[in-house]
Amino acid sequence: MTGLDETVCIVGGGGNGLGEATARALADRGATVVVNDLGTSVHGEGSDPEVAASVAESIRDDGGDATAHAGDLTEFAYADDLVTETVDEHGRVDAVLNFAGILRDDLSYKLDPEDWQAVVETNLTGQFTLLQAACEHWRDAAGEDGFDRQRSYLAASAHSARGNVGQVNYAAAKAGILGMTRSVSSEMYRHGVRVNALVPNAYTRMTETVPEEHRPYTREEMPPERVAAFAAFLASEHAADVTGCALYAGGDRVGVFSEPALDRVGVQPGGWSVEDLAEHFREDVAGDVDLTRTESFF
């Protein structure tokens, strides 16, 4: 049993890389898949509806059930249409998995304002539009009797959420996804909806923007299909009640990230003065915690 038979899944950014691999994994396990993609370059330039159409056609050629829905997830009206038209055509939406994203890297003091806005819009707003549309539908559809099975939203974050040189816009958007999913998971669990963030690690066209001599791995070492298997699991009934989590998948590994937590705490009755902090903060409060954090995580 795959846990995906007779389900309907929307895959945002399903035309390339992790989104494409996930669309195929879902279809292979019995899901009806709606492949969304605007068909832009890795830098968000241009558009091509054939990108989504070719993936859907390939899935059908392999015996799966898939349709294409090309459009821009930064537009709230389009995200609403995607969910509404999926329900009209297929009767339901069981899971949404959103991998849509672009890169426009530069150092913070050189970054063009348009590149900041484009990356945040695509990688963060483009997650919220679809999450909002799906949750609005699911809240209404659940009614008083609830669902026959939990619904699931999976948003793609990234290691860069921890901070990475030259990716301030991408890191900010991907870190925002972590707060977004924690917030919405708390709102939607009582309606039978789980919401998670996935930090994937795989060789995609984004990896190819890194000079070859600096790429951390090859496609053979970190194929998108291994991440897709975990994404498909999270869409299935086998992941019931897994919600509000930041999860990892890459290569031979899957995992769960810890929540943000205080490493150390210092207490000063009556409050801390500047002089108290100057005397005690580093040794007595921070202790052995590293306070100089400049590592790049790409």
Provide the edge-to-edge strand list for the sheet that holds 253-256: 65-69, 32-36, 8-12, 95-98, 151-156, 193-201, 246-250, 253-256
Give the number of other CB atoms < 10 A from CB of residue 2: 16
For the chain, helix, strand, coil in percent to 5 are: 45, 15, 40
Exposure class string for 228-258: b at 16+ Cβ within 10 A, else e:
bbbbbbbbbbebeebbbbbbbbbeeeeeeee
Look at residues 206, 235, 251, 234 and name the one whose alpha carbon lies nearest to residue 103.
206
Is-contact 74 40, C-beta < 8 A? no
Look at residues 151, 127, 156, 155 and name the one whose alpha carbon lies nearest to residue 235.
151
293: tokens are 């954090």
237: tokens are 């009934």
Catalytic status, residue 170: yes
Name the active-site residue from 78, 153, 170, 248: 170
Is-contact 73 35, C-beta < 8 A? no
Helix axes 168-188, 126-142, angle to 10 degrees: 10
111: tokens are 């970054």
Write the DSSP string, 61-80. Answer: HTT-EEEEE---TTSHHHHH
Active-site positions?
A: 170
